[in-house]
Structure 1
Amino acid sequence: MDPTKTIIDTVERFRRRRTAPLVLELDLTEGLVEGPPADPLDALLSRRKARLADVLGGLKRARQDPRVKALIVKVGGPLGLAAVQELRQAVIQLRSSGKLTIAYAETFGEFGAGTVPYYLATAFERVYLQPSGDVGLTGVVMEQRFAKGTLDKLGLDYQVGQRHEYKTAANTFTQSQMTEAHQEMTTRLVESIVEQVVAGVAEGRKLAPERVRELIDEGPFLGAEAVEAGLVDRLAYRDEIYDEVKRDVGDDALLQFVSRYNKTIKSIKLPHPGEQAVALIHGHGIIRLGRSGRGPLAGGGAMGSDTICAAFRAARRDDSVKAVVFRVDSPGGSYVASDAIWREVVLTRKAGKPVIISMGNLAASGGYFVSMAADTIIAQPGTLTGSIGVLGGKMVTGGLLDRLGITSEQVHVGANAGMFLPSRPFSGEQWSRVDAWLDRIYKDFVTKVAEGRKLDYDRAHELARGRVWTGADARENGLVDELGGLEDALATARDRAGLPADSPVRAYPKTNALERLRPPESSEDKAAATAGLRLEAWGPLNRLAAELGLPATGPLVLPGQWIIR
């Protein structure tokens, strides 16, 4: 082998990688990750998934980069509606800068529900589908299952109080069908989401909104039917799509994933000591007391009050931090943990540092509680938020135990020592304590909503009552200030703090490996907020919630399971 030729070839390859046209790729079949990993297990499980912030940053940078000629996105995987809208916004802005954008899918639902992924694809200039694929544009459905009949047969009784009629999480166990309030709320949620989907598909595919509604009623579509209806540009396999793109932008174009592109050396701005910045705090998952991390009943990541509060304190003490963006993606959880985080938001504002909320797919119940004191709340139209209410109670298992021949006896000191045991129902006096607890939490919640959103109490109560709103409707009612995504929130934070548009963003709390290993010196030490595995959500009711009945996630939680397909 000629050493000179090897060196020349190596230099040429390096030059080409620095100068050749770029085609950016994004594979969404594994979904996206919202924020930094909460713990080592989370990091391992999410290592193949792109991070939303990296994708948004890469697409923003690509708008100004003459080397970037096109973007190809493989659509699929689990994505929430708000995340889809955030991506749509970024793609539309990239298209407006003159870049070619192509979405392709092996299938939008495989002859099943695929409305949300197809809605994402319509933001692109061209939409391609594998010949064997389908377009599951079938509309939006929210289904609620009711287990009261099953509980009755088992001899189980669910004692629960809720504030108020729209706080429907317990309806699964206490009702056999939707109540009038439940039906009203769910109907409006579905209508609002369909309005957003119809508008996006109509604009992207250049169809009349009325025609899009007709097509929704006609779906799902086989591939050829989708082309004929104008929903897809053409049927093609991956190799055919990539060959077409190379013909459009040049055979010498290089492929690069958006996340890798965003992390290349040219995009990295080296920090300067004391440089003014915006702090970015991620709050993801069920809200609980203690540290963020992964709990056995938390459904993955959890937002720990110790971690989030420590992050706000660190940002307040850092003189170079001039504003804070709090990214919230949570269905709620512990009232006490939510209140601790709320207090840190208030203190950060009092310290003269604006706090901007960026809502993800969910910012409901406790997720709204931690948001409501901010200077500005920004949500996507499809964000599910509000649910300003509370519920509490217990599952009574005495009837089931009797049927099974199981008996129990109590030895206690204190009239209410066994109040939360599931074997016996609440007495009248005990139920009055549950009612007092619910009333206190609800009044505190609504009072703080009124203060934070500059509403009188009666108006805040009217919007509360446990009702879930889409971001679009929440904005109309004053619960949200603006519609937009994380990049909009960062821009707002820079503007409120008087910072330049390219000022850096710093994640908080950011600890190095040594800080995570050493014992913290005090509760003010960043090391005190490293991830743990505790699960605390209900306070005095945690034992009950872990055994049976109420969700172990806390009294301030979004009612039901909200999956938009």
Structure 2
Amino acid sequence: MPDLQAATSRLGGQLSRLGQRSAAEPVILELDLTEGVRMVPANSPVPTLPLSQKPKLPDLLLGLERGRTDDRVAGLIAKIGPGRMKLGVVEELRHAVLRFGAAGKHTVAWSESMGEFDQGTLLYYLASAFSEIHLQPSGDLGLIGVTMQAPFAREAMDRIGVRIDAGSRHEYKTAANTFTENGYTKAHRESDEQVVDSLTGLIAGGIAESRGLTTDQVRQVMDRAPLLASEALEAGLVDRLSYRDEVYDALRTKFGDDCRLRYVTHYARSREFRLPSSLPFRRGDGVALIHLHGTIRLGRGSPGRTVGSATTTDALRAAIADPHVKAIVLRVESPGGSYAASDAIWREVARAKRCGKPVIGSLGSVAASGGYFVVMGADAIVAQAGSLTASIGVFGGKPVLSELLERVGVRVDGVSVGGRHSRMFSKTLPFSEDEVERLNAWLDRVYTDFVDRAAQGRQMDPERMRELARGRVWTGADARERGLVDTVGDLHTAVGMARSRAGLPGDAPVVRYPKNGLSTLLRPPRSSDDRLAATRSAWAGVGDPLSRITSSLGLPSSGPLIHPFSLEIR
């Protein structure tokens, strides 16, 4: 027995010394963006399954925020590219990295190539947030700027015998132009040029500030790009030309050979690095975070694809009923969709406010048309500078396929009894004059309601709102100047604002709604007011494939408040 006690004592001492030694070793967080970043909507029932090698944005943001205040963490090293990321994701990561560096942490970005004779603007925009940038000697820097392209298929529609009967409110609501025009209209071109100019200014300004250059210098480099690695070094856009082993050797020289490398995602989840303020199952008053990711539709949504009105309103009611929830943040990543579905969500937002719970809207890459509708009545709206938002307008219509069907030998006939407009939505008949009148009355009603409620929510003169509306898209920065949003910031900004308005401390917990887990499958909800009602949508189907195809083409299968936006910068 004494021998066992002695052995146990020695083992305990060794473990204690090992723990002390581990605690003394500096931790360097690693961020691998080889495959880009995966956005996991809050209502996903399986958020932890390793479905891909892409790290999840919530884990990255949590790890970087935790590491910022952890004395054990000395720095961050990130591999940039070649995976594609949306501008909204890049903005979130960029702000998180800047906050991390501002806490006195060393940050290093390295890349084999930021665009191998290809577009690399967004990759470099993210890299510029780091204090040190390394590029492989054989790499390129594709900082070529921002472009937008719009396809116009009117001639193709004519050739195959498809006619588009559609209307819109107003000239900047250009969703149907893809099928009704042969090129840019004056309003369409004006709108897209404004967006591109605003985004270029955002990216050039951010790079200039981070690299100690002027905005004009960055724009001049854009005109010369794509750049060879040596040209990027000469222009002051990278600090060194290095291979991976050289980057990591330099890091170990700076922090010692015993420094520990940990992926940010591992650090965020690991009990080894969990701080007392972030222990699991910490319960107290906090903020509910509800994600709206995808096209807005009636009914139940499909995680990452569609936002269901029933899904979202259930989640809002659950948050309203939870006495521990003192404020709500709606994170919107949506081009819009159904007017009625958007209105249902808007109503629950208004109800949350009446119940004394501040609601803050947080806009991602795109929060336009119906995506703006759902948050325009919030207590405050936080947009990223590059968010594509507003698009206060409406369109509706249908494709007429009769000529196409006749060309392939298909004739469609039918009978109707009763209503004169019973075949109004048939895809084989054009609208009659009476039906065009009904369409226009409907478009006018939706547009007027949208504008009036936007003016009310933003406390703006209705005439001024009508000037800003007309279906026009604005970037977050431009929307802030025009009073359509309150401030420019990221999700961190929105959560901080929610805590402040609710009188919560700065470390009050954030809880995602709806809550999902195995336990939610074991007990069905007792009623639509039961908080578990919000979890039913987690296992919803992927939706109608035809509906997804038509909505991606800009046809109103998902609703009139939709803005199909084709903007890609990498």
TM-score, with length taken from structure 2: 0.92
Structure 1 position 54, deviation (Å)? 2.6
Q: Is the 8 A contact 1:290 1:536 kept in 2?
A: no
Output the CA distance in 2 between the equivalents of 1:120 and 1:543: 31
Structure 1 position 185, deviation (Å)? 0.4
Output the CA distance in 2 between the equivalents of 1:42 and 1:97: 30
Q: Decide which of 28, 46, 57 is 1:52's aligned counterpart.
A: 57
More displaced stretch, 157-166 vs 433-442: 433-442
Structure 1 position 458, deviation (Å)? 1.5
Question: Secondary structure of the residue that 1:406 maps to in structure 2?
Answer: coil
Output the CA distance in 1 between the equivalents of 2:29 and 2:556: 42
Q: Aligned pair in 2 of structure 1 residues 417, 25: CA closer, same or farther (>3 Å)? A: same
Letter in 2 for 1:269: L
Q: Decide which of 250, 266, 269 is 2:279's aligned counterpart.
A: 269
> Structure 2: 5+ residue runs without aligned partners?
1-6
Output the CA distance in 2 between the equivalents of 1:284 and 1:321: 22
Structure 1 position 464, deviation (Å)? 1.0
Structure 1 position 143, deviation (Å)? 0.5
More displaced stretch, 102-111 vs 34-43: 34-43
Q: Decide which of 408, 431, 448 is 1:443's aligned counterpart.
A: 448
Q: Decide which of 389, 413, 431 is 2:436's aligned counterpart.
A: 431
In the other structure, the counterpart of 1:289 is 298
> Structure 1: 5+ residue runs without aligned partners?
295-299
Q: Decide which of 386, 390, 397 is 1:382's aligned counterpart.
A: 386
Q: Decide which of 135, 141, 144 is 1:138's aligned counterpart.
A: 144
Q: Aligned pair in 2 of structure 1 residues 291, 66: CA closer, same or farther (>3 Å)? A: same
Output the CA distance in 2 between the equivalents of 1:190 and 1:546: 24
After the TM superposition, which residues 336-375 of structure 1 pair with which residues of structure 2 at under 5 Å, given as runs?
A: 336-375=340-379
After the TM superposition, which residues 85-484 of structure 1 pair with which residues of structure 2 at under 5 Å, given as runs?
A: 85-265=91-271, 266-267=274-275, 268-271=278-281, 275-294=284-303, 300-413=304-417, 414-484=419-489
Q: Is the 8 A contact 1:134 1:221 kept in 2?
A: yes
Output the CA distance in 1 between the equivalents of 2:513 and 2:389: 24
Output the CA distance in 2 between the equivalents of 1:445 and 1:108: 42
Q: Aligned pair in 2 of structure 1 residues 464, 532: CA closer, same or farther (>3 Å)? A: farther
Identity %: 50
Query: What per-residue deviation string (whole Å, max 9, x for no partner) do you get for residues 280-336 of structure 1?
Result: 111111111222325xxxxx5221111111111111111121111111111111111
More displaced stretch, 34-43 vs 495-504: 34-43
More displaced stretch, 518-527 vs 419-428: 518-527
Output the CA distance in 2 between the equivalents of 1:108 and 1:277: 40
Question: Secondary structure of the residue that 2:494 maps to in structure 1?
Answer: helix
Q: Aligned pair in 2 of structure 1 residues 175, 207: CA closer, same or farther (>3 Å)? A: same
Output the CA distance in 1 between the equivalents of 2:260 and 2:138: 28
Q: Aligned pair in 2 of structure 1 residues 198, 29: CA closer, same or farther (>3 Å)? A: same
Q: Decide which of 58, 80, 85 is 2:86's aligned counterpart.
A: 80
Q: Is the 8 A contact 1:287 1:366 kept in 2?
A: yes
Output the CA distance in 2 between the equivalents of 1:561 and 1:194: 16
Query: What per-residue deviation string (whole Å, max 9, x for no partner) do you get for residues 45-90 of structure 1?
Result: 7553333233223222222222111101111222222221222222
Q: Is the 8 A contact 1:35 1:282 kept in 2?
A: no
Q: Is the 8 A contact 1:421 1:544 kept in 2?
A: no
Structure 1 position 515, deviation (Å)? 1.9
In the other structure, the counterpart of 1:297 is none
Output the CA distance in 1 between the equivalents of 2:188 and 2:229: 37
Q: Aligned pair in 2 of structure 1 residues 208, 514: CA closer, same or farther (>3 Å)? A: closer
Q: Decide which of 61, 67, 76 is 1:62's aligned counterpart.
A: 67
More displaced stretch, 382-391 vs 201-210: 201-210
Q: Is the 8 A contact 2:135 2:242 kept in 1?
A: yes
Q: Is the 8 A contact 1:519 1:527 kept in 2?
A: yes
Letter in 2 for 1:24: L
Q: Is the 8 A contact 1:289 1:536 kept in 2?
A: no
Question: Secondary structure of the residue that 2:558 maps to in structure 1?
Answer: coil
Question: Secondary structure of the residue that 1:327 maps to in structure 2?
Answer: strand
Q: Aligned pair in 2 of structure 1 residues 401, 43: CA closer, same or farther (>3 Å)? A: farther
Q: Is the 8 A contact 2:42 2:514 kept in 1?
A: no
Letter in 1 for 2:291: H
Q: Is the 8 A contact 1:42 1:301 kept in 2?
A: no
In the other structure, the counterpart of 2:3 is none
Output the CA distance in 2 between the equivalents of 1:211 and 1:118: 15
Letter in 2 for 1:203: E
Structure 1 position 376, deviation (Å)? 0.6
Q: Is the 8 A contact 1:38 1:292 kept in 2?
A: no
Output the CA distance in 2 between the equivalents of 1:446 and 1:174: 25
Letter in 2 for 1:403: R
Q: Is the 8 A contact 2:43 2:515 kept in 1?
A: no
Letter in 1 for 2:540: L
Q: Aligned pair in 2 of structure 1 residues 40, 279: CA closer, same or farther (>3 Å)? A: closer
Output the CA distance in 2 between the equivalents of 1:419 and 1:287: 24
Output the CA distance in 1 between the equivalents of 2:44 and 2:98: 34
Output the CA distance in 2 between the equivalents of 1:43 and 1:331: 27
Q: Aligned pair in 2 of structure 1 residues 13, 176: CA closer, same or farther (>3 Å)? A: farther
Output the CA distance in 1 between the equivalents of 2:551 and 2:376: 29
Q: CA RMSD in A?
A: 2.4
Figure out how many residues of one structure are paired with residues of the other and give that number. 554
Letter in 2 for 1:228: E
Question: Secondary structure of the residue that 2:117 maps to in structure 1?
Answer: coil
Q: Aligned pair in 2 of structure 1 residues 302, 517: CA closer, same or farther (>3 Å)? A: farther
Structure 1 position 44, deviation (Å)? 4.5
Output the CA distance in 1 between the equivalents of 2:230 and 2:549: 54
In the other structure, the counterpart of 1:520 is 525
More displaced stretch, 344-353 vs 79-88: 79-88
In the other structure, the counterpart of 1:554 is 559
Structure 1 position 176, deviation (Å)? 0.4
Letter in 1 for 2:240: R
Question: Secondary structure of the residue that 2:434 maps to in structure 1?
Answer: helix
Q: Is the 8 A contact 2:300 2:310 kept in 1?
A: yes
Structure 1 position 562, deviation (Å)? 2.4
Letter in 1 for 2:279: K
Structure 1 position 549, deviation (Å)? 7.1
Output the CA distance in 1 between the equivalents of 2:18 and 2:440: 72
Structure 1 position 380, deviation (Å)? 0.8
Structure 1 position 560, deviation (Å)? 3.5
Question: Secondary structure of the residue that 1:280 maps to in structure 2?
Answer: strand
Structure 1 position 554, deviation (Å)? 2.2
Question: Secondary structure of the residue that 1:362 maps to in structure 2?
Answer: strand
Structure 1 position 441, deviation (Å)? 1.1
Q: Is the 8 A contact 1:334 1:366 kept in 2?
A: yes
Q: Is the 8 A contact 2:369 2:393 kept in 1?
A: yes
Output the CA distance in 2 between the equivalents of 1:93 and 1:36: 24
TM-score, with length taken from structure 1: 0.93
